[in-house]
Amino acid sequence: MAASRLTIVVQPQAMVPRSCTFRFQRGCVLILTTMVSHAESEVGDVCGGIMEKGFRLLHARLAEAENRPRWRVEDMPTQSTAVEISFQSATSEAARSTNDSHLSVLLGRNGEGKSRILSGIATTFQLLQDYGRSGSSRGVPLSRLEYLAEGSHHLFTCEGSKVLLSIDGAEAPLYEAILPKRVIGLSMTPFDKFPIGGARHRRGLSDPEFPDIYSYLGMRERMGQVSTAALLTRALEGMVSRIALDDRGRLTRVFEMLGFLPALDVVYRLHERSVLDGLAGEVSLDEVLEARRRDSIYSARLRHLLERDEVVLGESRKAARYALDESNRGFVHLRFDLERPDLSALRSYERLQLLRRLGLVRLYAVEVGRKDGGMIDLKEASSGELSIAITFMSLAAGLEDNSLILIDEPETNLHPEWQARYLDLLLSTFGSYRNCHYVLATHSPLILSDAPPNATLASLSSASLKHGSEVSGRPIDYLLVEAFDVASGDNYYVREQLVKALRLAADGKARGAEYQDTVRALVRIRPMIEDSPGVVELIGDLEAIARKAVVR
């Protein structure tokens, strides 16, 4: 090992330490101390408030890109795909908060880029963590990323393949960036655009001591398949990991909130019995695969997985013997009690998961008991209640304090009753997790109406709403117009505004601010209701009255 060097710096009185961070990089321990002046410190206190360890996403912008399909001729016009969102009011909200989590809602029409920018945010944090590990820098999908972390303001800008960082206004190397504890991409739609995982995870190189900060909780699998089972498998892995780390308290509380008993019954079904028999016996790998010689693709894949590592082959043989010994009519049952964990169940789970990855067993059922009686198989969940249960259990398995949670179209598969309760359930269920930022993209006015008053809003269309107080508890017709830019001639809110303007005009108050503001709102609505010519004409008449009143 190279000789170490200790540098002692005498700080002038005008400087105060922002933070001292220990990081491991390329075999060295880096002690990173960020210094700011007393004046800067006071500004930072206003910016971060007393949220010293929290995380808030403030701004994100996708890099300019051109969509030029390969089959098009070169001189065809291309389309820019830049998208930008801002939750800058989260800064002032952070100054008022202590260590509570925050909710932001992203609005916009289909095709405007909500899913793409959520994916870009997740991918950018993945790449920033990879830089801290390897020191290599690749271009990121965002041209700008701004957030608060542990009281420090972070601003990333990207120019081509060059990524620049400033912390509290001062240029800093990328490895000094404070990242959120976890970044989670959550979706119940098969069309989400979240990255499924990093290259290290795909190659099985994840380091348990320095885990990936990003987790994908969704229905897509790497080979293109889509199923609820994929989401449930990820949730199960996370929950078992928490049990193994003796971190069960919050997971138990989530089960409590969902009305479930604190236990899981997991059932696997033997799938390739002949291969399992061969692995369990001390026969050669060629003999093991002989029974599947007709399925050359499966045999080649299994051979590749088993031959590349003698340890894997040895563990696979042990796992096969265990599965055959414990099976009952082709099923192997495990039980995880969150209150009284059994270490042998954890070891058995690891063996069965190895066999599942080899395609030798399949996850058959994941059952939970209701407090009011009865069992539910989450693998067969289809109702809104069970859909929420799966997503919340998935989130509980991966969530930590100081996390960024990106949720795309949570209304998918949910009955309107569950849409109207979604945000309240989300924030109450995970209320014990501190300093998190939930960013949620939705088309549902029912979900938006459930937003708390301190939520922040961003829209990719022309809607100008910025604060939760403008939407919390508001009627659906109002939200359709003001938040989603959708209206019709028989919309109750539109008719209410028309009646209000007519009454003010009849009372001789056309010059007043209330009438002028009401007419301006109706003029903004007019392009949305062009299929109602009578209403459009009436708005034109009211607009003419407003102009004449001002001229007088």
Note whether residue 74 is domain-resident: no
The answer to whether residues 91 and 58 touch, using CB atoms and an 8 Å cutoff, is yes
Domain co-membership, 230 together with 84:
yes
Q: Indicate whether 5 belongs to any domain.
A: no
Q: What confidence tier does 438 reach under pLDDT thresholds 50, 70, 90?
A: very high
pLDDT band at residue 184 using 50, 70 and 90 as cut-offs:
very high
- CB-based burial of residue 511 (10 Å sphere; 0-12 exposed, 13-18 middle, 19+ buried)? middle
So what's the pLDDT on residue 136?
59
Read off the pLDDT band of 440 (50, 70, 90). Answer: very high
Are 132 and 25 within 8 A, CB to CB?
yes
Higher pLDDT, 417 or 307: 417
What is the total residue count of the chain?
Answer: 552
Q: Is 130 in the same domain as 219?
A: yes
Q: Is residue 56 in some structural domain?
A: yes
Of 369, 393, 426, the residue at which a domain comes to its end is 369
Residues 104 and 205 in one domain: yes
| Inside any domain, residue 376 | no
Q: Domain of 327?
A: 262-369
Domain contains 125: yes
Same domain, 153 and 115: yes
pLDDT at 241: 84
- d(CA 202, CA 218) in angstroms, rounded, equals 16
Report yes or no: 228 and 390 within 8 Å, Cβ to Cβ: yes
Residue owning tokens 């051109």: 66
pTM of the model: 0.80
Please tell me the distance from the alpha carbon of residue 504 to that of residue 542, in angstroms, as a whole number.
Answer: 10
Residue with tokens 């414990």: 326
Helix residue spans in 399-429 (DSSP H): 416-429
Residues 193 and 167 in one domain: yes
- Residues 149 and 51 occupy one common structural domain: yes
269 and 356 belong to one structural domain = yes
Task: Say which CATH number the domain at 104 has.
Answer: 3.40.50
Q: Are 220 and 230 in contact (CB under 8 A)?
A: yes
The stretches of 151-264 forming alpha helices (DSSP H) are 199-202, 228-244, 249-257
- Give yes or no: residues 350 and 425 share one domain: no
Indicate the residue among 369, 397, 426 that finishes a domain: 369
Q: What is the pLDDT of residues 386-434, one digit of tens each?
A: 778 888 888 988 899 999 999 999 998 888 988 999 999 999 889 889 9
Which of 63, 67, 85 lies closest to 76 in space, CA to CA? 67
For residue 5, give every residue at least 6 positions away whose Cβ sits within 8 Å of its Cβ, in sequence order, or none.
Answer: none
- Helices (H) and strands (E) counted in the chain, each on its own, are 18, 20
pLDDT average, residue stretch 202-213: 60
Tell me, yes or no, whether 300 and 365 share the same domain. Answer: yes
**Which DSSP symbol is given to 445?**
H
Task: Read off the pLDDT band of 72 (50, 70, 90).
Answer: low
Q: Is residue 7 part of a domain?
A: no
Amino acid at 373: G
Computed on alpha carbons and rounded to an integer, the radius of gyration of the chain in Å comes to 28
Ranges 107-121, 169-183, 451-465: which has the least confidence:
451-465
% of the chain residues with pLDDT over 90? 42
413 and 508 together in one domain:
no
| pLDDT of 205 | 45
pLDDT: is 1 or 344 the higher one? Answer: 344
- Residue predicted with more confidence, 296 or 498: 498
Whether residues 152 and 31 fall in one domain: yes
Q: Is 256 a member of any domain? A: no
pLDDT range class, residue 110, cuts 50, 70, 90: confident
Is 254 part of any domain? no
Supply the DSSP symbol for 63.
P
Looking at residue 158, what is its pLDDT? 86
pLDDT above 90: residue 288: no
**pLDDT tens string 15-36:** 333 434 333 343 333 334 334 3
Confidence (pLDDT) at 60:
94
Does 492 score more than 90 pLDDT?
yes
> Domain tally for the chain?
3
| Single residue among 318, 346, 369 that ends a domain in this structure | 369
Tokens of 472: 């919390």
Are residues 190 and 63 part of one domain?
yes
